[in-house]
Amino acid sequence: MSRRLEGKRLLIATHNAGKLKEIGALLAPYGIECLSAGALGLPEPEETGITFAENALLKARAAAKAAQIPALADDSGLSVTALGGRPGVYTADWAERQWFEGPLGRDWYMAMGKVEGLLCEAGTEVDRSCWFSCVLALAWPEGDSVVYEGRVHGTYSWPPRGTMGFGYDPVFVPQGRDVTFAELPPEEKHRISHRADAFAKLVADQFGH
């Protein structure tokens, strides 16, 4: 059986403000006090893994060790069927850092355009199916860890639509809907997203719900 969270304090090992907001909302019903890696001034570790799980574990372990409290990390990304699963683990890297977006900012519109460009090169009848993956890793300062994985399937849609959410949300239309994640109110995204799927597994295992 995996180790369980005993205390109320949990370090959220992310430097992505959009993720932090979603994770805070998803954990709100469980009385967890969330501290953020950014607010504690922890460095952003280099993501050298080749799977979501490796990177999530690497981020959670580094944060738990540095702060000496349990840490939760999220490694996620978008995989496009016609591109053989790319950008996948490298989703964040496809958006280059831009000085005008601030020190941690990335140019998401350029990244979304890069994917669209490759799909267009593949032809007008190209398969636009894609999926978001999210791997959550919990790590304790003593070295224990556990991971939970979630997914949501959908279609890569162009041009980008909507202003909510973050990252690639404006191009992702979840299966069974005709609006993008960026057009859905946060409560609705939280019902169906890859992050929500991974959190449902974490909550069942950790809090017994």
Ligand X SMILES: O=P(O)(O)OP(=O)(O)OP(=O)(O)OC[C@H]1O[C@@H](n2cnc3c(O)ncnc32)[C@H](O)[C@@H]1O
Q: Annotated binding site for Mg(2+), which residues?
A: 46, 75
Edge-to-edge strand list for the sheet holding 33-36: 33-36, 9-12, 71-80, 129-139, 145-156, 172-174
DSSP bridge pairs for 148: 136
Site string for ligand X, 5-24 (x = CB under 6 A): ---------xxx--x-----
21-80 residues in contact with ligand X (CB under 6 A) are 44, 47, 59, 74-77
Residues that bind Mg ion (CB under 5 A): 92
- Check if 144 is active-site: no
Rounded least distance, CB 57 to ligand X, Å:
12
Which position among 42, 116, 169, 198 is part of the footprint of ligand X (CB under 6 A)? Answer: 169
Which position among 166, 196, 203, 207 is part of the footprint of ligand X (CB under 6 A)? Answer: 166
Cβ atoms within 10 Å, residue 173: 19
| Number of residues this chain uses to bind ligand X (CB under 6 A) | 22
- For residue 186, which of 41, 20, 4, 70 has the smallest C-alpha distance? 20
Site string for ligand X, 103-132 (x = CB under 6 A): -----------------------------x
DSSP bridge pairs for 80: 130
Cβ atoms within 10 Å, residue 103: 7
Which position among 57, 92, 119, 198 is part of the footprint of ligand X (CB under 6 A)? Answer: 92
Which position among 79, 145, 180, 193 is part of the footprint of ligand X (CB under 6 A)? Answer: 193
Is residue 16 within 8 Å of 23, Cβ to Cβ? Answer: no
- For residue 87, which of 67, 65, 116, 58 has the smallest C-alpha distance? 116
Rounded least distance, CB 195 to ligand X, Å:
6
Please give the structure tokens belonging to residue 12: 């959220």
Q: Helix-strand-coil percent breakdown of the chain, rounded to 5?
A: 40, 20, 40
DSSP bridge pairs for 170: none
Rounded least distance, CB 6 to ligand X, Å:
24
Q: Which does 116 bind (CB under 5 to 8 A by kind): ligand X, Mg ion, none?
A: none
User: Which residues make up the interface to ligand X (CB under 6 A)?
Assistant: 14-16, 19, 44, 47, 59, 74-77, 91-92, 132, 165-169, 181, 193, 195
Would you please indicate which residues are annotated as catalytic (active-site) residues?
75
